[in-house]
Amino acid sequence: MSNSRHVPVMLRRCLDMLAPALTEPGAVVVDCTLGLGGHSEALLERFPEARLVALDRDKEALRLSGERLAPYGERATLVHAVYDELPDVLDRLGVPRVQGVLFDLGVSSMQLDEADRGFAYAQDAPLDMRMDQTTGMSAAEVLNTYPAGELVRILRAYGEEKQAKRIVSAIVREREKEPFTNSARLVELIRDALPQAAKRTGGNPAKRTFQALRIEVNGELSVLERAVPAAVAALAVGGRIAVLSYHSLEDRLVKQVFAAGAATTAPPGLPVVPERYQPRLKLLTRGAELPTEEEIAENRRAAPARLRGAERIRESAGSGEDAR
């Protein structure tokens, strides 16, 4: 098993960003993407007065990180949930507001390293790609049952794949002969379908299709669209949120939510902006921060990471405003 699974991405920077909000006794920090618990363990260690609530939809991840975080006892509460369920989780735990939230989006190292999950295009495996293997459609079912037009839309929207039509034509032709079950056949089909020029750039030619399928299978963008505003709404004044994303679609979504929170909502032309129109967030990053060259050398999976952070600087005027 590769050592890269033990190296949480941009760890020190995430901790430093959240630190001012987590020094008070009883501060609650939420790790919305627990994975193998690397970020969570570091949070518990660095902030000994803080309490952790950690979410993951993958039961195997919860089991493994539960063993890792066991020494911290009741300071760590692990919950089987998708991160857009954060408001319900906090409600059940009786936690009205939190001081810190961390998202480390995308696929966890464990999911990439477990060959039978079908996330990695570099090794043959069943085309599953579900982060929670107890529910939902697998990637194979999506490939074998979705209409061609829908597959093209997914590859374009979620994979930013310029050759979507060409790839989908090949998929539809092949699935009529025999349904898709394994990743190697899909990788080979994509290689054969693409023109030479498209194969020369951007790494493995299957990368974008696999990303698109994974996002569709797990509803990642629609979940994120609900989750980031919900996390901002859960922050106490002075609370901080840090989000690590790994492709432009995620990063754009996070950027939009933060920008909206950091903007005034006042009608133009007011001589004085009333409190209720003042920004709720202060941005903690200029644009998105990137990992250092040293970090990428140590952990190649950090290469595409983009980090954005924000601080909650005031309450919303009305209870409904946070949910927008």
The residues spanned by each domain of the chain are 3-110+220-323, 121-218
Topology annotation, domain 3-110+220-323: Rossmann fold (3.40.50)
The share of the chain scoring above pLDDT 70, in percent, equals 89
Residue 38 sits at the vertex; the CA angle it makes with 10 and 227, to the nearest 5 degrees, is 75
Residues contacting 258, CB < 8 A, separation 6+: 281, 283, 308, 310
pLDDT, one tens digit per residue, over 226-264 is 999 999 999 999 999 999 999 899 999 999 999 999 998
37 annotated as a binding-site residue:
yes
Fold of 121-218: DNA polymerase; domain 1 (1.10.150)
Per-residue pLDDT band at 319 (split at 50, 70, 90)? very low
To the question of whether residue 309 is assigned a binding role by annotation, the answer is no
- Summarize pLDDT for 82-102 with one digit per residue, the tens: 999 999 999 999 999 999 999
121 is in an annotated binding site: no
pTM of the model: 0.85
The pLDDT value given to residue 322:
43
Same fold, 3-110+220-323 and 121-218: no
239 SS3 class: strand
322 labelled as ligand-binding?
A: no
Task: Flag whether pLDDT at 2 surpasses 50.
Answer: no
246 residue type, one letter: Y
